[in-house]
Amino acid sequence: MNLDGKIPSGPLPQKWDKYKFDLKLVNPANKRKFEIIVVGSGLSGASAAATLSELGYRVKCFCFQDSPRRAHSIAAQGGINAAKNYQNDGDSVYRLFFDTIKGGDFRSREANVYRLAQVSVNIIDQCVAQGVPFAREYGGLLANRSFGGAQVSRTFYARGQTGQQLLLGAYQALCRQISMGGVQMYPRTEMLELVVVNGHAKGIVARNLITGEISSHSADAVVLGTGGYANVFFLCTNAKGSNVTATWRAYRKGAFFANPCYTQIHPTCIPVSGHHQSKLTLMSESLRNDGRVWVPKRKGDCGKPPGSVPEQDRDYYLERKYPSFGNLSPRDISSRAAKEVCDEGHGVGPGGLGVYLDFADAIKRLGANVIHERYGNLFDMYEKITGENAYEMPMRIYPAVHYAMGGSWVDYNLMSSLPGLFVIGEANFSDHGANRLGASALMQGLADGYFVLPYTIGNYLATSRQPRPAADHAEFKKAEEEVRAFINRLLSIKGKRTATSLHQELGRLLWEKCGMARNEAGLKQALKRIPELREEFWKTLNVTGDSMELNQALEYAGRVADFMEFAELLCTDALRRSESCGGHFREEFQTPDGEARRDDENFAYVGAWEYQGLNKPPVLHKEPLVYEEAHMSMRSYK
C-alpha cells in the first residue's frame, strides 16, 4: 500500500496558503449541522474544541480528569517556540523550519514542519490576545530565551510554568464555548473504543469514571488529542494518567501507528532515587541557558562535594564535545553524552547515575535574584524533592523518558489512515521526526488545534458525504459489548499482582532493552519477554472493587493492558529500524566518535504499522520522506 501524505504541490513556502485556498469550505449555516467529538482537553484538544465551536460546529469534548484544566499540558515548563525574530538575532520561518528538520534527524515530513514554523507566529499573537502572561523585557516587549538545537533566542515563556499559562488561555476559550452551548464537556469520561461505520470514524464508546456507566456518542468526525505514551516506560516525566489507550484502540480499528520507537529521553531530570518511585521530575531544558553541565574529570572526585572540585578538574563535557551548541545541544545528543560519562565512571550521586547542572557562574554574573526571576519555581521544586538548595550547590540530573515522537499516522490534513479520524498534538506521529527540539511540542499542539485542524476538518466534512449514524447503530452496540467484556475480564481475574507491579516490570524491561540505547540482541529478548508478561498480566492481575463505581484501580489496569500490547509494537519498530537516528540509538550503528549513524538509503521513511490482530505480526507501510528544500546531511552540533 502506498501511504499518501497528501502533501500539496508547489514551492514549500506557498504550499499551506495555496492548500487552504483549495480546501472545500462548509458554509456558516451548515456548520451547526455537524457534530465533532474531540477526545482530550490538553493544549491540542482544548484549542481545537474551542476553535471548532467558535467556527460554528457542535462539539463534544471528553477528558478523564475532573477538569480540562488538569490535562498533562499543565506540566510544561520551559516555553514555546515561534519565529517572531523579536531578538533580531537572525531568526526566520526558514531557520525554525530548518532547525526542526535537523533536530529531528531528517526523519520528519518537510511540508508539515514548514507549515508549523509558519503558523508559530500566529500562536503567540493568539495567546497574547487571550492574556497569557508571557515574560516581558524591561521595555514591555515579549522576552525570549534559547532552547536546545537552536542558536537564536525564539522561546517565549512564563517563568517555568508556560504550559499552565497557555492551558489557562485555551481553557478559558473552551469555557466560553461551553457556556454558550457550543461545546458539551464530558470530564471524568474515558474513551474506551472508537466506532467505525462504513469505513469512517463515526463515534466513540466511553465510560463515566464516577458512575461506571458506558455510553455511545456518534459524530460526523472524531478528533483525538489524547497526548503521548511515554508512560509505557513506567518511570517518566509525564503525568501519571498519560496513556496510549485512545490511539491504541484506534490502531486496533484500523488507524495506523507511526514510528512508535521514536521516544525522547530528556537529559535533565531529577535522578531515580529507588524502586519505590512512581514518577520522575523534569528540570526544564531552559535551565541550560544559564546552567553549565559537568562531571569530575577524576573518578576519585565523584564522591566529593562539588564545590571542592577545582575548575581545572571539571569536565564540561557538552561544551568540550559540542562547542557551537554547548549546553544547549539537542536532547538526544545531550542525553547520550550524559550516559557516556556516567558509563565511564564519572557520574555523581547514588549509583553514579547523575551529572551536575551548575548555576554558580550565572549567579556570579547576573545575581541570584535574576536566576530566581527566570527559574524560581524550578529551583523550589528541585529543593522540595531533593532537599538541596540549587542556588548554593549544583543540581544533580540524569536523562529520563519524556516525550513520544511516534503516534497515530496522519496525513497533511492531520487525518489518520481511517477517514474521519483526526489526531492532533502529541498523540500523532507529529512533526518532530526522530527527536523533538525543546519548546516545540506546545507549538505543535497549538498549531494543530488553533490553526491547522479547523481548516482541514472542514474539507473532510464538506466532501465525505457520510451521514452521522444514530448512537444506537449496531456498530455502537457491538463496541459497547466489547468494552463491557474487557472490563469484566479485568475484574474477574482476581490474581495476586497489582497493575502497578506488572507495569513496573514492563517499564524496566523497556528502559533496559529499548531505552537510551538499543541493540538487536536486547530487542529480541524484549520481544520474547513482552508476550509472556502480557500473559502473566491476564493471569495474575488483581483489580479490587467494582465496575459501577469510581474505581481507579480498574481505570489504570485498562491502560496497562494497552501498554502490554503497545510495548511489543514499540520494540518491533525499534528492531526493524536498523539505523540510529535521533532518539532511536541502535548501538550497532554509530560513528567512530559515538554519534548516531543514519541510513538514508534504506530508512528515510515514516514507518506506519497496520494492526492484524493480537499475536499476529503487524504489517509495515512506508511513507518515503522526500526533501525538496532541506538537504539530508549528517547532523553536527560541533
Ligand X SMILES: Cc1cc2nc3c(=O)[nH]c(=O)nc-3n(C[C@H](O)[C@H](O)[C@H](O)COP(=O)(O)OP(=O)(O)OC[C@H]3O[C@@H](n4cnc5c(N)ncnc54)[C@H](O)[C@@H]3O)c2cc1C
Q: How far is the CB of 41 from ligand X (least distance, A)?
A: 4
Pairing of strands 58-62, 35-39: parallel
- Residue nearer to ligand X on the CB measure, 147 or 605: 147
Can you tell me the distance from the alpha carbon of 502 to that of 506, in angstroms, rounded to the nearest whole number? 6
- Find out whether 583 and 148 touch, Cβ atoms under 8 Å: no
Cell of 447: 498549531
Can you tell me the distance from the alpha carbon of 582 to that of 596, in angstroms, rounded to the nearest whole number? 7
Of 62, 59, 71, the closest CA to residue 39 belongs to 62
DSSP codes joined into one string, 489-524: HHHH---SB-HHHHHHHHHHHHHHHHSSSB-HHHHH
- Find out whether 236 and 270 touch, Cβ atoms under 8 Å: no
Q: How far is the CB of 81 from ligand X (least distance, A)?
A: 7
Q: How far is the CB of 426 from ligand X (least distance, A)?
A: 4
Can you tell me the distance from the alpha carbon of 170 to that of 191, in angstroms, rounded to the nearest whole number? 22
Give the residue numbers annotated as catalytic, written as ranges: 331
Can you tell me the distance from the alpha carbon of 449 to that of 536, in angstroms, rounded to the nearest whole number? 40
Of 95, 88, 175, 80, the closest CA to residue 126 belongs to 80
Burial class (CB in 10 A: 0-12, 13-18, 19+), 465: exposed
In the complex, residue closest to ligand X by CB: 42
Cell of 176: 466560553
- Residue nearer to ligand X on the CB measure, 226 or 459: 226
Q: How far is the CB of 80 from ligand X (least distance, A)?
A: 6
- Residue nearer to ligand X on the CB measure, 65 or 151: 65
- Residue nearer to ligand X on the CB measure, 443 or 516: 443
- Residue nearer to ligand X on the CB measure, 227 or 515: 227
- Residue nearer to ligand X on the CB measure, 230 or 371: 230
- Residue nearer to ligand X on the CB measure, 60 or 635: 60
* Residue 66: how many other CB atoms lie within 10 Å: 11
Please name the amino acid found at residue 256.
Answer: F
Q: How far is the CB of 160 from ligand X (least distance, A)?
A: 8
Say which residues have a Cβ less than 8 Å from residue 609's Cβ, sequence separation at least 6. Answer: 251, 256, 257, 258, 260, 569, 572, 573, 618, 619, 620, 621
Which whole-number Å values give the CA distances from 181 to 93, 178, 185, 187, 254, in the listed order? 38, 5, 10, 16, 33
- Residue nearer to ligand X on the CB measure, 431 or 475: 431
Largest CA distance in the chain: 74
Torsion of CA 391, 396, 398, 404, to 10 degrees: -30
Please name the amino acid found at residue 137.
Answer: E
Burial class (CB in 10 A: 0-12, 13-18, 19+), 159: buried
- Residue nearer to ligand X on the CB measure, 71 or 309: 71
Q: How far is the CB of 241 from ligand X (least distance, A)?
A: 7
DSSP 231: G
- Residue nearer to ligand X on the CB measure, 82 or 342: 82
Q: How far is the CB of 485 from ligand X (least distance, A)?
A: 18
Residue tagged 459489548 (cell numbers): 481
Q: How far is the CB of 302 from ligand X (least distance, A)?
A: 28
Q: How far is the CB of 147 from ligand X (least distance, A)?
A: 8
Residues making up the chain, counted from first to last: 638
Say which residues have a Cβ less than 8 Å from residue 274's Cβ, sequence separation at least 6. Answer: none
Q: How far is the CB of 552 from ligand X (least distance, A)?
A: 14
Residues that bind ligand X (CB under 6 A): 39-45, 62-65, 71-73, 75-80, 162-163, 190-191, 225-228, 237-238, 242-243, 245-246, 282, 284, 402-403, 425-427, 439-442, 445
